[in-house]
A and B are shown apart, each in its own frame.
Chain A
Amino acid sequence: MTIILILAGLFFLLLLGVPVAFALGGIGLAMLLIGGFSPLMAPQAILSTLDGFILLAVPLFLLMSNVLLKGGVGRDLFAAVQAWVGHWPGGLAVATILSCGLFAAISGSSVATAATIGTVAIPEMISRGYDKRFVYGLLAAGGTLGILIPPSIPMIVYGFVTEQSVIALFLAGIGPGLLLVSFFVIFSVLYAKLSGKFVPVEKAQMEERLVASWRALPSLVLAIIVIAGLYSGAFTPTEAAAVGFAAALFITIFWLRTLTWESFWEAVKESAITTTAILLIVAGAKVFGKAIALYRIPQDISAFIAANNDGPLIFILLVSVVLLLMGLVFEALSMILIMTPVLLPAAMGLGFDPIWFGIYMVIMVECALITPPVGLNLYVIQAVARTTLANVARGVWPFLLLMLGTVGVLYAFPDLALYIPFKW
């Protein structure tokens, strides 16, 4: 009963339009006061959250990708990939997905990925006769790769709240990320071949390819340094983000010479806004998490699930339906922060690896990013392409199925995620 009241209160505040951070913190604080616990726990929980060294990676990865963004790296990446694969059937679509995947490796955000690649790829593809809905769906879905391929802000947050290794999560995202990229690529080639709705791009000359690659090279090297540094243990995620930020400045100031003072200051402001918005939700969730733990709610839920144990498959199917429904209205981070403390103990009781569960959660919230009426990537593409939300939403469903297919493969072969971090 208490659980239902608490969740009803929380959802009421959220749907009323109280910012997520304060809704979570407010309900948590109210629970502390009603339960006779010390309300000092609320400010303490906020302080201890922001004091987390790992969360420093959030502003730094955001700074790194915002600086690269302002430096016009998205355009360079797309041009380079297009020079190599543009002449394939559906080549521009393939180039778009590959650019999204590459940009995802230097950015931890799906919005940044969708917006950056969308700005260059959408006009290009539409002028080559691709069906508009396909283009919008492709970009909205391709953008979600940003949070599955490391670095990833939601993974940092998941690692922080569950006390799991962020490095292991990053590495575990690579396998499913590559699988999803190949699903998208195969679908694009088949779609182009079968529909015939595109004008092929002429094959680029070798010189053109090399020139385009030369401009995109530093960003690729940066992505490799970050991943390799994390994998070898040379950097912590936070240090990797700091070095990445410094390198992004070096690349955009000295190599590409595209970063101005104004755009740098814009990048700093934007990163601060996003960081504060995200970390306050994490802090609010910490207050909420403390309160529900004192009321022993996660234990009650896992006991309930253990008592009604229908096996891991039914559990994952049920959770997936709940997450898909939540994803219609909620955005990614709030879903992870509200649902993880509630679900993870039960999932671990059923034998799921917490790293695996993190990757599963990330793919599920990727779906939330492209399901209407509230899907952040839909808004981004709508704004970039200056079209209606309905148009974008109609193009998205085949990609949604491919993402759910990836979840299926991940369930059948957990090593898709767990091989690189633990067995390689």
Chain B
Amino acid sequence: MIFISQVSRIAGLFGAVLMALTGAMLTFEVVARYFFIKPTIWAAELSQLCLIWGCLLSMAWLLSQRRHITVNAVTSLLPKTAQKACVALALLCIIVFSGIVTIWGWDIFYDSFSRGRTTGSLLNLPTWVAELSVPLGFGLLTLQAVADLIALPRDATHTLGASHE
């Protein structure tokens, strides 16, 4: 259990670094284009790749930190045991959804990988480079949700999330 949370944490922090890197790449692009009239062919594409990987790698970490956006208005009115039951049901929903997305996401990745499909853009990267993030990210999320479900009877969780913007 702790091992999975550790993996999620490292994946999430790596995802955070990827997102910050997009800032560096795109600033470089703007400077290169306006001051040196030399637009890059890689900045836009690589930063999009960073965003995809960054988000999907961070999902499991957000779950373990209880930072996914959740509507708590109704469950917070329930007694503590009922709140726990709701959390268990919510975790089951996440497991089913992310499990299915992992399997189908893997199919998409494997199909592109075995056919050697490429993006057809300037960099012409293999499409599986982006597509692999779906089975990996959702697979990790599934594992994290299973681990949270197993740990649930012994911890103090009464909601899966927080409210953001």
Residues of A within 8 A of B (CB): 13-23, 25-26, 29, 39-40, 42-44, 46-47, 50-53, 55-56, 59-60, 63, 109-111, 147, 153-154, 234-235, 238-239, 241-243, 245-246, 268-269, 271-281, 328-334, 373-374, 376, 379
| Complex Cα–Cα for A379 and B161 (A) | 15
A278-B165, A331-B71 known; A59-B22 Cβ under 8 A: yes
The interface centre, meaning the residue of B24, B26, B56 with most chain A CB atoms within 10 A of its CB, is B26
* A59, B54: Cβ atoms closer than 8 Å: yes
Residues of A with C-beta under 8 A to B96: 26
A153-B165, A272-B19 known; A235-B30 Cβ under 8 A: yes
* B30, A59: Cβ atoms closer than 8 Å: no
Can you report 21 A-B residue pairs in the complex whose CB atoms are below 8 A from each other? Answer: A14-B71, A17-B70, A17-B75, A18-B160, A19-B63, A19-B94, A25-B97, A40-B104, A40-B108, A51-B48, A59-B51, A109-B165, A246-B24, A271-B19, A272-B20, A273-B16, A274-B165, A275-B55, A277-B62, A277-B67, A376-B163
Residues of A with C-beta under 8 A to B59: 276, 280
* B161, A19: Cβ atoms closer than 8 Å: yes
Shortest distance from the beta carbon of A156 to any chain B beta carbon, whole Å = 11
Nearest neighbor of A33 in chain B, beta-carbon distance: B100
Nearest neighbor of A108 in chain B, beta-carbon distance: B165
Shortest distance from the beta carbon of B85 to any chain A beta carbon, whole Å = 10
* A154, B22: Cβ atoms closer than 8 Å: no
Within 8 Å by CB of B69, from A21, A46, A63, A241, lies A21
Residues of B with C-beta under 8 A to A268: 16-17, 19-20
Residues of A with C-beta under 8 A to B152: none
Q: A20-B70, A51-B52, A243-B30 are in contact. List 5 more A-B contacts (CB 8 A).
A: A19-B69, A46-B101, A56-B47, A235-B30, A276-B54
Per CB-CB distance, the 10 closest pairs between chain A and chain B, nearest first, are: A272-B16, A242-B26, A19-B68, A43-B105, A276-B58, A246-B27, A26-B97, A245-B23, A18-B90, A50-B52
A15-B73, A22-B93 known; A278-B104 Cβ under 8 A: no
Nearest neighbor of B71 in chain A, beta-carbon distance: A14
Interface: B65 (CB within 8 A): yes
Shortest distance from the beta carbon of A35 to any chain B beta carbon, whole Å = 15
In B67-85, the 8 Å CB interface with A consists of 67-75, 83
In B83-116, the 8 Å CB interface with A consists of 83, 86-87, 89-90, 93-94, 96-98, 100-101, 104-105, 107-108
| Complex Cα–Cα for A93 and B12 (A) | 41
| Complex Cα–Cα for A330 and B17 (A) | 31
The interface centre, meaning the residue of B29, B87, B100, B160 with most chain A CB atoms within 10 A of its CB, is B100
Residues of A with C-beta under 8 A to B148: none
* A239, B98: Cβ atoms closer than 8 Å: no
Residues of A with C-beta under 8 A to B58: 272-273, 276
| Complex Cα–Cα for A272 and B19 (A) | 7
Residues of A with C-beta under 8 A to B94: 18-19, 22
* B26, A154: Cβ atoms closer than 8 Å: no
| Complex Cα–Cα for A110 and B27 (A) | 25
Within 8 Å by CB of B23, from A14, A60, A234, A280, lies A60
In B136-160, the 8 Å CB interface with A consists of 138, 159-160
Residues of B with C-beta under 8 A to A60: 22-23, 26
Residues of B with C-beta under 8 A to A235: 30
Shortest distance from the beta carbon of A134 to any chain B beta carbon, whole Å = 25
* B51, A55: Cβ atoms closer than 8 Å: yes
Residues of A with C-beta under 8 A to B48: 51-53, 56
| Complex Cα–Cα for A283 and B48 (A) | 15
Interface: B123 (CB within 8 A): no
* A19, B90: Cβ atoms closer than 8 Å: yes
